[in-house]
């Protein structure tokens, strides 16, 4: 991203809580709302696009601005000091400018509703419910998985047969193959990342993750032999 845009975005994040008149709602006519307000001083990143008329002339820029608007709308009430600390931690974890990276993530997101999910994950990080590494992994999954498939994720709290959405959710690290069946009746369920995503990203209740061994139908799961019994077997 151009340095000016990154700088404007960082400033907009820091002072979005002072722009209540601009971030009054999340109506569909975000662009029309921005054109009615003086956004240059209060929200520099959006003012940048309004100034160059890109927000009116280019559909891709309009979608980008909507996503930025929604991100700032959802995070405007977050603690400013914690937000600053987050972006420092985010930068250190990724070894690059955190504001630049966040803009890149927003640009790539293919569905406007994913911005709300990302804001939820950010709030969970600020509240120390997830780690910075968790945030990076979960936003990577958010980026890769279609929104329609993400909405199916809570169904994997219990064992679920494979379906079209399973492929994307599995390859993105949110579910794993719990019952391995060569006959075609394999079962998938949430892994640890999937539980975090449902709980903090989708804001739905879900049981804690319990690590269990994979099951293979027709095979008997071996039980561990106590140390004393091992010595008895050896000495026989």
99-131: pLDDT as tens digits: 999 999 999 999 999 999 999 999 999 999 999
Tokens of 149: 């498939």
CA of residue 35 relative to chain centroid, distance: 30
Structure confidence at residue 60 (pLDDT): 83
Q: Which of the residue ranges 84-98, 142-156, 166-180, 216-230 would you say has the lowest mean pLDDT? A: 216-230
**End-to-end CA, the chain:** 72
Give the residue, 68 or 53, on which the prediction is more confident.
Answer: 68
Domain ranges of the chain: 3-130, 145-222
pLDDT tops 50 at residue 220: no
Give the residue, 39 or 236, on which the prediction is more confident.
Answer: 39
Cβ(117)–Cβ(153) below 8 Å: no
Handedness of CA 33, 36, 41, 45 (dihedral sign): positive
Structure confidence at residue 81 (pLDDT): 94
Structure confidence at residue 133 (pLDDT): 98
Tokens of 168: 């994307």
Structure confidence at residue 44 (pLDDT): 85
d(CA 152, CA 156): 8
One-character DSSP codes across 142-175 = HHHS-HHHHTTGGGGGS-EE--HHHHHHHHTTSE
């Amino acid at each position: 991203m151009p340095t000016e845009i990154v700088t404007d975005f960082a400033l907009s994040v820091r002072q979005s809580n002072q722009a209540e008149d601009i971030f009054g709602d999340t109506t569909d006519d975000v662009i029309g709302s921005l054109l009615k307000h003086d956004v240059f001083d209060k929200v520099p990143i959006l003012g940048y696009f309004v100034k160059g008329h890109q927000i009116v002339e280019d559909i891709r820029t309009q979608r980008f601005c909507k996503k930025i608007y929604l991100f700032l709308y959802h995070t405007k009430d977050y603690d400013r000091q914690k937000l600053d600390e987050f972006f420092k931690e985010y930068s250190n974890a990724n070894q690059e400018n955190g504001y630049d990276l966040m803009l890149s993530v927003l640009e790539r997101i293919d569905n406007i509703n994913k911005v709300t999910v990302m804001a939820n994950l950010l709030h969970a990080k600020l509240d120390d419910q997830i780690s910075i590494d968790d945030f990076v992994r979960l936003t990577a999954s958010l980026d890769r998985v279609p929104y329609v498939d993400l909405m199916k994720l809570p169904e994997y709290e219990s064992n679920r047969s494979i379906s079209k959405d399973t492929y994307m959710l599995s390859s993105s690290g949110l579910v794993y193959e719990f019952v391995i069946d060569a006959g075609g009746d394999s079962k998938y369920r949430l892994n640890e990342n999937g539980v975090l995503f449902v709980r903090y990203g989708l804001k739905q209740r879900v049981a804690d993750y319990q690590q269990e061994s994979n099951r293979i139908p027709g095979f008997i799961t071996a039980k561990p032999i106590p140390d004393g019994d091992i010595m008895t077997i050896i000495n026989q």
